[in-house]
A and B are shown apart, each in its own frame.
Chain A
Amino acid sequence: MRNIDYDLEGDILTVTFAESKGRVHTGVELTDNIVLYFDPTTEEPLQLILVSYRRLLEAPPIRLDGLAEVPDDLRAAALRLVCRAPVANFLRLEEGRRTVPAGRVTEIFLPTVLGAMTPAATPLTVAEQRAQYEVPKPKRRPKKAN
């Protein structure tokens, strides 16, 4: 694993397994929200993009309906990659016979960790809100003794 990047504003999780520069690579949409890049010659995964990651975590099994749009020679390779680590650590295929394979996105961050990163998820107390907008009162100078 090379890098995991979570973009809070876009709710986009990007997992980079290996450097893609200087090697053959291709990328396919497993669904509208999940993109997998890999080296088609070695079938080594390069990058996984999960758009709307937090919603994907809560979603029912996600049908990998994007595979229907993938060229035949790449579809089988993409499915093999999804079935094994390291991609399977992030997207677990549901067992059972289905016309279209489906999987669940695996939680790699605790929701509490993500929640703490979202301002809306950690509402300020009334006292804290007041403190943000309150202009500090000037300190009174002690009266000079006559």
Chain B
Amino acid sequence: MQTWPLWVQDREGRRIYLTEERWQHALDHPGMSETLLDAVLVTIRTGHRKQDRYELDKYKYSRAFADLPGGYTHMVVVVKFGWTRKEPNGENNFVLTAYLVRKRQR
């Protein structure tokens, strides 16, 4: 049983949370299932981070996995960064969605 929201830190120590609502949004994408929750969290913890070209407060974390279902090779997690007065450090960074993609194997 998960206690929502789930908190995770990326490689540079940024704290990011995933709400149940946002997890449900991710589950609407093909190939996504409850069993991939760990892969989503690992992607944030250790994945490659890239800023969105059009909305600078959005970042995409992506990571290759060898054991994804259906021939998919990468997990992608979209995170929105922001600020709030509610949190002690003022950060409000949360997952917007996540999805699987297939890329060329290097």
Query: Taking beta carbons and an 8 Å cutoff, which residues of A are in contact with B?
Result: 5, 7, 9-12, 14, 16, 20, 24-29, 32-33, 35, 37, 46-47, 49, 51-52, 55-56, 59, 69-72, 74
Contact = CB atoms under 8 A, between A and B. Distances in A.
B78 interface: yes
Interface string B73-96: 000101010000000000000001
A51 B52 contact: yes
Contacts of B31: 20, 25, 27
Contacts, number: 87
Contacts of B28: 5, 14, 16
Given A9-B80, A14-B29, A26-B70, 10 more contacts: A5-B28, A10-B58, A10-B78, A12-B25, A12-B78, A27-B100, A32-B52, A37-B29, A46-B30, A71-B103
Contacts of A7: 25, 96-97
A52 B52 contact: yes
Contact of A27 (B30, B50, B55): B30
Interface of B: 25, 28-31, 50, 52-55, 58, 60, 70-72, 76, 78, 80, 96-97, 99-105
B58 A51 contact: yes
Given A20-B31, A51-B52, A69-B104, A27 B99 contact: yes
A127 to B, nearest CB: 27
B29 A47 contact: yes
Nearest to B21: A9
Contact of A28 (B50, B70, B78, B101): B101
The 4 closest A-B pairs by CB, nearest first: A55-B54, A10-B96, A20-B30, A52-B54
